[in-house]
Structure 1
Amino acid sequence: MQVIQKLTVLSNPNRFFEVGTEIDGHEVIAIRQVGSESESHVHSEYFVEDENGDLITSIENAPVIVDWKTIAEHDDPPETQK
């Protein structure tokens, strides 16, 4: 399973969101891709959430660099856990 570890929003200046860091007193626990794709367009959106699952910020239709991290799932056989 792959999860987003870090999201860099390419702006001036660049903005960084990374799991485990703190933003305005809230620890970033998850960064989720929640956009959608249709035949006519792509809506790019990411949610940055805190330890309670509350939204810290949302990034929409912005150029980003996504750093993924592969984690093992509980039911994965050992040969697939890397």
Structure 2
Amino acid sequence: MIEIALNMLAVTSLYFSISWCLKHQTERDIDDASLIPFADDPEVARRVEQATGKTIEAVQVSDEAVRPPGWGTLKL
């Protein structure tokens, strides 16, 4: 019996903690957050835009990693 009460307390506290964290978020913020996984691939972002009608601000990811000055290939 105590296990059921503890499980219900855990689920209730999880629900209220998530509600408290999302309290100040607008619907637009939540929609933008749900589209973040598609922002790094322009082709996929275009397909999701066509399917949902929502605008995704896609970023262009360079193939080569940006290295600080002095960091390159080691030449011996």
- TM-score class normalised by the smaller sequence: under 0.3
Instruction: Tell me the TM-score normalised to structure 1 length.
Output: 0.19
* Richer in helix (by share): 2
Larger radius of gyration: 2
* Richer in strand (by share): 1
Instruction: Tell me the TM-score normalised to structure 2 length.
Output: 0.20
